[in-house]
Amino acid sequence: MSPKVAQGSPMAAAEKTAEKTYEGLLPEQLIQIFRTMYLSRRVDDREIMLKRQQKIFFQISCAGHEALQAAAAANLRAGYDWFFPYYRDRTLCLSLGVKPEDMLLQAVGAASDPASGGRQMPSHWGNRQLNIFTNSSPTGSQFLQAVGCAEAGRYYEKHPASAAKATGDYREFKDVAHHPDEVTYVSTGEGTTSQGEFWESLNTASNKRVPVLYVVEDNGYAISVPVKYQTPGGNISPLVANFPNFHFEEVDGTDLIASLGAMRRAVEHIRSGKGPAFVHGHVIRPYSHSLSDDEKLYRPEAERKQDAERDPIVRLQKFLLAEGILDPAAVQRIQREVDAEVQAAADAALEAPFPAKDSYKLHVYSEALSPKDARFVSVAASEGNDRTMADLINTCLRDEMRRDERIVIFGEDVADCSNEEYLADKKIKGKGGVFKLTAGLQREFGSTRVFNSPLAEANIIGRAVGMAARGMKPVVEIQFFDYIWTAMHQLRNELPLIRWRSNNIFNCPAVVRVAIGGYLTGGAVYHSQCGESIFTHTPGMHVVFPSNALDAAGLLRTAIRCDDPVLFLEHKRLYREPFGRAPYPGPDFTIPFGKARVWKEGIDLTIVTYGATVPRSLQAAQRLEREKGISVEVLDLRTLNPYDFEAIAASVTKTSRVLIVHEDMLSWGYGAEIAARIASELFDKLDAPVERLGAKDTFVAYQPELEDEILPQAEDIFQAALKLRNY
C-alpha cells in the first residue's frame, strides 16, 4: 500500500496529501464530497424501499446527477447565495446542509417536514436559512424567479437603505440580507429547456447581466423522450451560445473533477460581476424517471448498461483510490457510517407525527397582516379638485414609492423612456404606460425602480416572484388582461401558492396591476376581456376590482402595504370616466379589503355588482325608482377575494330579492358562486329566485352595435331588475 493511502481514516489520508489540490479542493474535501454523493444515493435507495413498502407515496431520484451538483455546491455558499434547484437536486441540498432526515420527513409527509409541512411531494426542496427557495412541480417555472431573485440582490446593493425593516406594512415581516458578489443558482433537466420561460429568462439574464448560474443536468431523457427529439441538434449548448455576457461550460457531469473546474470558472465569472453563466453537464439517469415510470419500456438493456459505466459515484471512488486519497477500508467505513445515518434518519421520519388534519387551512394568506385588518380603515383627506381614477392610481403609486424604496414598477411600456439620455435632455415628455398610469414615475424614481420589461408576461410575473421572495415589493403591470394568459403558469401555480406550499417559510406579496374590460367602442376580442373568476378560483391571491377613483387609490395602497399577492384589476373604461372622480385622498389613505360599498340604499331589490357595471347598475336603479317607484339597493363589492358576504346577506335580508350583475360572461362567471351561496345560506330570506346578468357567452366583438349587444347595458339591468321585482 502506498504511504499516501489512508488506513481506514479519511482525515489521515487528507493530511498526507494536503499538498495536492484538485480544482482548488483538498483531498479531505473530495472525501467529504464522496461521502455526500454516496449519502445522496443511499437516501434515494431508502426512499425507493419505503415507496415499495407503501410508507411513502412518491419517489424521484438524484441518481447519476451527484457529481455535477456536488461540484456546484462546492463553489457556492449556503445562506449567502440563493438556490432555485429542481427535483433531482438532492446532492446539492445535502451539500448545502439539508439533513437526510429533513428529506425523509417530506417523503412521509410529516408535520415537521421543514420544507412544506407535509404539503409537497418528496424532493420539493425549501429551506429559509440556507436560501433554498421553495420548489414546485411545474417544470421550468424556476428560471424567471431565479432571475428576479438575483436582480433583488443587485437592487439592494444599489439601494441599501431600502433593506431596512419598517413597521406598519409587509416590511415588518421581511429580514433582508444581500451581498455584492452573491450568485443565484438555478437548475433544470435538459428537457425543460424546451419551456418558453427558459428562453424568457435567458433574455433578461443576458441583457441585464444578472448574476445567475444556470446548471443544465442533461441525462439524455425527459421521462421517455430522448434529447435529440426534444432539442434541435440534440444539444442545448450550441443553441444558447450566442447570448451576450454569459460564460458557457459544457462538461461531463459524471466527472467530479471536470465539473468542479467548470463550476469554478462559471462562478468566478458571475462573482466578478461580468454576467450570468451556463453550465451544461452531461449526466446519467441510472434509475427510471421516477418510481411511477419504468424505463425498460423505452430504453434497451444495452443503452442502460452503457450509462451505468459512467456512474459518478463509482467513477469518483475509483479516482480517490487511484490517487491514494482513500483505500478500500476507508471507503467501506464511509459507507457504513452513511448507511447508519440513513437508517437513523428513516427511523426518525417514520416515527414523526403527521400534520393535524385542519392544518391545511393555515398560510393560504398571511395570518400576521391581513388586508382586511382594521388598520386599513382610514378617512380620505379630500384635497383639491376631483381627479380621475387614472390620476389617483398614478398619485398612489408615486406616494407609495416615496414612502417605500423597496417598490419597483416594471411591465411593458411602463417607463417614461428606456433611453434615459432622452429624458435627461428633456427632449421628450415620456410615455409611462399605454394608459399613462405610470407616467412620470421613472423620471422621479430612476430607471432602477421603474423600467420596461421585455414583451413577455411570464417574464414580468416570474421575476416579480423572485424579487418579492427577497422582501422587495414589485408592483408590476400587465398591459391588457387579454394577454395575461402567457403568465398564467406563474399566476396560477406559483405566485399565490408560495406561502401555502412552503408552510409559511416563503411568501411573495407582489401586486399585479392589470388593465381589464370592455365597453370601449372598438375594443374587440383582444382588448375587452374580463375573466376575474379564473383568479378568484385560485386560493392565495386577493382580487380587487374598483369602480371609482377613490376606491382605486385606497385599495391599491392597501394592496401595496399588505403581505399577500394581489391582482389589482383596473377597468380601462373607468380610467377617465366622469363617474366616480374624487379629490386626492392623501398619502396614507387605505381601504380594507372585503368591505362592500353601498352606493344607493333601497328596500325592494338588491343589485350586487362591481367594476364597470357599477355605474350602469346605478343608472338602472335610478330609472327604476324614477319610472317604476322601485327602490333598489346597489352594492359594489370592490374586492372579489375576499368579498363581503355579510353586506350581501344584510341587504338581501332587507330586500328579499337579488340580482347579481357583472361584465364578464354569465356562465361559470363570478356571479355563479355568489348566487349559489345566497341560495344556500339565505334561502329563507328570498321572495324570488336569485338572478344573474352578465355578458353573452361569447367574445366581445369589434363592431360597436355588436359590442353593445354582447355586454350588459343599463337597459338590460333595468329589464332584469324589473322582471325580478315583479316575480
Ligand X SMILES: Cc1ncc(C[n+]2csc(CCOP(=O)(O)OP(=O)(O)O)c2C)c(N)n1
Q: Is 223 in the site for ligand X (CB under 6 A)?
A: yes
User: Which residue, 489 or 513, has its beta carbon nearer to ligand X?
Assistant: 489
Q: Is 88 in the site for ligand X (CB under 6 A)?
A: yes
Examine the residue annotation and report whether 289 is marked as an active-site residue of this protein: no
User: Which residue, 17 or 139, has its beta carbon nearer to ligand X?
Assistant: 139
The dihedral sign for the CA sequence 141, 144, 147, 148: negative
- Segment contacting ligand X by CB under 6 A, of 135-143, 201-209, 262-270, 588-596: 135-143
Burial 683-694 (b: 16+ CB within 10 A, else e): eeebebebbbbb
Q: Is 221 in the site for ligand X (CB under 6 A)?
A: yes
Is 652 in contact with 685 (CB distance < 8 Å)?
A: yes
680 dihedral zone (left: phi>0; alpha: psi -120 to 50; beta): alpha
Q: Is 568 in the site for ligand X (CB under 6 A)?
A: no
Q: Is 222 in the site for ligand X (CB under 6 A)?
A: yes
Q: Shortest distance, CB of residue 485 to ligand X, whole angstroms?
A: 15
- Segment contacting ligand X by CB under 6 A, of 134-142, 366-374, 623-631, 651-659: 134-142
User: Which residue, 222 or 396, has its beta carbon nearer to ligand X?
Assistant: 222
Nearest CA among 609, 725, 578, 613 for reference residue 675: 609
Report the alpha-carbon distance of residue 705 to residue 695 in Å, rounded.
14
Q: Is 282 in the site for ligand X (CB under 6 A)?
A: no
Q: How far is CA 430 from CA 413, 433, 533, in A?
A: 10, 9, 35
Q: Is 226 in the site for ligand X (CB under 6 A)?
A: no
Q: Is 395 in the site for ligand X (CB under 6 A)?
A: no
What DSSP assignment string belongs to 27-65? HHHHHHHHHHHHHHHHHHHHHHHHHHTTSSS-----TT-
- Cell 459524471, residue located: 254
Rg, C-alpha atoms of the chain: 29
User: Which residue, 17 or 288, has its beta carbon nearer to ligand X?
Assistant: 288
What residues numbered 643-672 form the site for ligand X, per CB under 6 A?
A: none
Q: Is 327 in the site for ligand X (CB under 6 A)?
A: no
Report the alpha-carbon distance of residue 115 to residue 109 in Å, rounded.
10
Q: Shortest distance, CB of residue 218 to ligand X, whole angstroms?
A: 7
Report the alpha-carbon distance of residue 197 to residue 457 in Å, rounded.
10
Q: Is 136 in the site for ligand X (CB under 6 A)?
A: no
Q: Is 572 in the site for ligand X (CB under 6 A)?
A: no
Is 506 in contact with 540 (CB distance < 8 Å)?
A: no
User: Which residue, 190 or 636, has its beta carbon nearer to ligand X?
Assistant: 190
Q: Shortest distance, CB of residue 87 to ligand X, whole angstroms?
A: 7
Binding letters toward ligand X, positions 190-219, x by CB under 6 A = xxx------------------------x-x
Amino acid, single-letter form, for residue 388: T
Name the DSSP class of 127: B
What residues numbered 148-177 form the site for ligand X, per CB under 6 A?
A: none
Q: Is 85 in the site for ligand X (CB under 6 A)?
A: no
Secondary structure of 329-391 as H, E, C letters = HHHHHHHHHHHHHHHHHHHHHHHCCCCCHHHHHCCCCCCCCCCCCHHHCCCCCCEEEEECHHH
Q: Shortest distance, CB of residue 215 to ligand X, whole angstroms?
A: 11
Member of 9, 112, 137, 504 binding ligand X (CB under 6 A)? 137
In the complex, residue closest to ligand X by CB: 189
Member of 109, 126, 189, 615 binding ligand X (CB under 6 A)? 189
CA 618 to chain centre: 38
Nearest CA among 180, 181, 198 for reference residue 189: 198
Nearest CA among 553, 536, 642, 644 for reference residue 591: 553
236-240: long-range contacts, CB 8 A cutoff, minimum separation 24? 236/190, 236/193, 236/280, 237/278, 237/280, 240/202, 240/278
Q: How far is CA 518 from CA 484, 551, 581, 709, in A?
A: 15, 20, 19, 12
Q: Shortest distance, CB of residue 1 to ligand X, whole angstroms?
A: 40
Q: Shortest distance, CB of residue 223 to ligand X, whole angstroms?
A: 5
- Cβ neighbours around 362 below 10 Å, total: 15
User: Which residue, 140 or 211, has its beta carbon nearer to ligand X?
Assistant: 140
User: Which residue, 82 or 221, has its beta carbon nearer to ligand X?
Assistant: 221
Q: Is 280 in the site for ligand X (CB under 6 A)?
A: no
User: Which residue, 96 or 222, has its beta carbon nearer to ligand X?
Assistant: 222
> 178, 247, 289, 527: which is the annotated catalytic residue?
527
Q: Shortest distance, CB of residue 49 to ligand X, whole angstroms?
A: 21
Q: Is 101 in the site for ligand X (CB under 6 A)?
A: no
Q: Shortest distance, CB of residue 242 to ligand X, whole angstroms?
A: 22
Burial 462-481 (b: 16+ CB within 10 A, else e): bbbbbbbbbbbbbbbbbbbb
User: Which residue, 212 or 614, has its beta carbon nearer to ligand X?
Assistant: 212
Member of 8, 97, 138, 234 binding ligand X (CB under 6 A)? 138
- State the number of binding residues for ligand X (CB under 6 A): 15
Give the residues lining the site for ligand X (CB under 6 A): 88, 137-139, 188-192, 217, 219, 221-223, 289
- Active-site residues, by number, are 527
